[in-house]
Amino acid sequence: MINFEEELKKFHPSLEVEDAEEAIYNQDLTDMADILVGMIKDMGNTTFTERPVRQDEIAAREENSSFEE
């Protein structure tokens, strides 16, 4: 059976709407926009030693090498 006296001792009132709103907005949460901005900044700081070679460049190199032989 439920002991109402014990349950009342455990009771904590919920936050008022204004207090709940403030608690929610004051949390520092990362959203997708923050993640994307971080990724773009990281890409700007990355240096590449060699750029990727396209398939048409490979074909052109193979054609040129066959003429040189």
Instruction: Give the contacts of 14 (CB within 8 A, at least 6 positions apart).
Output: 20
Question: Under the phi-then-psi rule, with left for phi > 0, alpha for psi from -120 to 50, and beta for the rest, what region is 56?
Answer: alpha
pLDDT higher than 80, residue 66: no
CB 50 within 8 A of CB 57: no
Domain residue ranges of the chain, discontinuous segments joined by +: 15-68
Q: What percent of the chain has pLDDT over 90?
A: 0
pLDDT in tens, 24-43: 787 777 888 888 888 888 88
pTM: 0.31
